[in-house]
Amino acid sequence: MADQQFSSIPLEQLYMQLQSGEKGLSLSLAETRMKEQAKLSRTESRFKKEAKLFIRQFTNPLILLLVIAVILSAILGQSSDSFIILFILVTTGLLGFFQELNAGRAMEKLRGMISMKHTILRDGQELQLSTQQIVAGDILILDAGDIIPADCRIIESNELHVNESTLTGESYPVEKIAGQIADELPLVKKSNCLWKGTNVISGTATVIVFQAGNDTIFGHMAHSLTETTETAFEKGIKHFGFFLLRITVILSLIILVVNLYFHKPLFDSVLFSLALAVGMAPELLPAIMTFAMSAGAKRMLQKKVIVKKLSSIFNFGEVNVLCTDKTGTITEGNVMVKDIVDAHGATNERIRLYAFLNASLQNGFSNPIDDAIKSLNITINGYKKINEIPYDFIRKRLSVAVNFNERKFFITKGAFNNVLEICDKIETENEQTEPLDEQRRKLLADKYISFSEEGYRVLGLAYRKIEKDKIARDDEQQLVFLGFILLEDPLKESTLASIKRLEELHISIKIITGDNRYAASHAAQKIGMQNPVIVTGEALRKLTPEAFVVKAKAANIFAEIEPQQKEFIIKALQKSKLTVAYIGDGINDAAAINAADIGISTNNAVDVAKEAADFVLLEKDLSVLADGVYEGRRSFVNSMKYIFITTGATFGNMFSVAGASLFLPFLPMLPKQILLTNLITDLPFLSIASDHVDDEDLVQPGKWNLKMISSFMIVFGLHSSLFDFITFYFLYFYFRLSGSAFQTGWFLESSITELLILFIIRTKKSFIKSKPGRLLLITGIIAFCITIYLPLSPFADLLGFSVAHTQQLITITLILVAYIITADILKIIFFRINERKQMKVSMRAL
């Protein structure tokens, strides 16, 4: 790559080298290069990905040890037991594989819905193609907000500024222009080249691709750049998995040592401990989590929310602050021109014409304001555009130069204060100009405030005569102030209901807008905010970092906010221990979207905003967000059900087996029976993601709490062990059962209690008052029937089962009834105590 001269050679020579031209590649050559590029791509085939996924189900060290043990068992002559154990392990692995496979394929479809498109010239035709379809020699047309999809050389540009922070780490935009630059210079100094993964901040450009796909600078750095930070839930799950695995391994070793101490057969003791470890380890946790997130993503798609990162679903459920802009979210987003008036507030057709010229002739990124002005449909015959200074978020204005009957001038439109500051004259009612003194500036400012307080978005309009054909930023001075553009954007009908629904979910709304404080105050009154706290960007700049955090938490509306301040506001709120979601769709929103715990964009947003987001809305509406939060909390609650049950069952069964090993002269359950219990009880767990969730569980944001999980594990583990020991007592001391008959009794009690606890723990209220999901109920009943059937089936001898007498079954049934009643009461008490503790913690935080 270094020996190729892409930045120094003349464009004509580059065209020849790439077999391209001003009209782009021929369609046939582009097709050939796309096929070649696909062959060189390092992406894995679907078969290879899915094969790895399948193998991963069996790479758990505990499972591998057990496989080795059962193979040794087969060699030693215990072939029937070995085949049974292997069959159970393969079946469990297949269940997890198909769950993750279906979830992964569903996510591929979702991502395909929001793939980025780029404007390409091929054979002189403008095409909209995805990043993967772009090849060397393509001609790209770039606008503000575009993510650059390949390494390119600039053919022509207009006020082009690019954010190259992904490659250089420098966040300030750099200016890019056409020309020839020495190849030996570093990337940061090649001002005539654009690099894949960077994005256009302002301006426009036509460029030619000289490197695409994996041949780009970004492609060579892809490994380091694709690393993503873990979400809070991902970290919690990882810590939980290691925590549970450690307990499982330690207790398994203790049980092995105890069995060997009491001179039980070595091989049986090792096999038993391994089977117990596999049975108790959370091996289904990845599959359960993936399926829960995938199911949540599918439901969110039905609510018009596309999930880009699965694990973010749980973070969505934790959100307690939503930061949003005003336009298109609170309001309709259909900006309309109310009027265009002169400096004295009178409607003026000439000023309307100038506003229309500025909006209709500009070639920057499409936006609602220009679209609204263009809808005026004013005839502009004879007016010819000669040059443009595109809008950017520093100047906050746009200038377009035009020629009419050999008379040249440029028109500037933008934020009122930013236009007023470059004016030194004002146009009077008879089209004469007068100096813009302080008194006139104050009158204009008062009129601006008056229009804003009426709820209008107010822009300033100015012009200046010129002699030359090209204009630059330095020319934006000594303009004549013409008047005001008054825009209105009505409140959405759904806004009030949506805000009320979000408040019911304990989510506070904070509006972050570039509009002035008066328009922001008017909007706040419309949406029912009582005495809102409004903070301006100017006020925030004067605060210390500590005061900024306090002020940000107290504010309801942030007005007159600069683009870079949005990110600071998000980070300040996070320092107050709030989980923040931010919704935006513009170039200036990308940093805030990326900084937020949950970044949200819309399907019609600029590329850089969509790329930064965790979620993409098909409709920009607060009601859609409420649906997304609801689904996030539902996915969180259903996943926590599995975690609670796994912890309780793991600790309880381990404790019970450890105790039983002290006084039983035989194994309390055979290895194949332990694995069979695990397989049967896993069946309903795989459908837990579709379970119903009680309304009261969705009111508050879900929070990962390892301390509460640990407490639950001890309380319910000991409760489970108590009933295990009661079962041991009746089976061994009362009925004098041993061997197969004892193992059958404990298999029934252990399997059924684990199935029952699922239906008890799935709700915080009494289980008879909460209806489970249909699929969960069906799979639970099937698992229960299989458990009852196996000891009575023709396979009973093969599995080591035998029922001594009916009294054994009646006793186990009574124990199970007592278990259900006490577990339900204990659960209600546990969650009430925990809720009180959380309330106290929240009160201290306030």
Phi, psi of 732 (to 5 degrees): -90, -45
The type of residue at 728 is F
Strands 407-415 and 457-465: antiparallel
Q: Which of 143, 146, 151, 325 is catalytic?
A: 325
From CA 360, how far away is CA 402, in angstroms rounded? 12
Task: State whether residue 447 is helix, strand or coil.
Answer: helix
**Cβ atoms within 10 Å of 638's Cβ, excluding its own:** 25
Task: State whether residue 578 is helix, strand or coil.
Answer: coil
Phi, psi of 833 (to 5 degrees): -65, -45
The type of residue at 641 is K
DSSP secondary structure letter of residue 504: H
Cβ-in-10-Å burial (0-12, 13-18, 19+) of 1 comes to exposed
From CA 35, how far away is CA 29, in angstroms rounded? 10
Rg (CA), the chain: 34
Contacts 24+ apart (CB under 8 A), 530-536: 532/556, 532/557, 533/557, 534/558, 534/559, 535/559, 536/560, 536/561
Question: Which distant-in-sequence residues (6+ apart) come within 8 Å of 328 by Cβ?
Answer: 368, 585, 602, 620
Q: How far is CA 512 from CA 494, 527, 534, 651, in A?
A: 20, 15, 10, 49
- Rounded to 5°, the CA angle 479-483-486 comes to 135
Contacts 24+ apart (CB under 8 A), 675-678: 675/85, 675/88, 675/89, 675/92, 675/275, 675/278, 675/279, 676/84, 676/88, 676/747, 676/790, 676/799, 677/279, 677/747, 677/750, 677/751, 677/754, 678/88, 678/92, 678/278, 678/279, 678/280
The token pair that represents 755 in the structure block: 């199935």
Nearest to 766 by CA among 829, 681, 698: 829
The type of residue at 222 is A
Q: How far is CA 567 from CA 353, 471, 702, in A?
A: 38, 33, 25
Nearest to 721 by CA among 665, 670, 650: 650
Q: Does residue 96 contact residue 682 with C-beta atoms inside 8 Å?
A: no
Measure CA of the first residue to CA of the last residue in the chain; give whole Å: 58
Q: Does residue 716 contact residue 656 with C-beta atoms inside 8 Å?
A: no
CA 412 to chain centre: 39
Task: State whether residue 427 is helix, strand or coil.
Answer: strand
Sheet architecture: strand order including 508-512: 305-307, 615-617, 598-602, 580-583, 321-324, 508-512, 557-559, 534-536
Cβ-in-10-Å burial (0-12, 13-18, 19+) of 284 comes to buried
The token pair that represents 511 in the structure block: 């509006």
Nearest to 341 by CA among 471, 265, 448: 448
The token pair that represents 697 in the structure block: 């569980």
621 a catalytic residue: no
The type of residue at 341 is V
Q: Which residues are catalytic?
A: 325
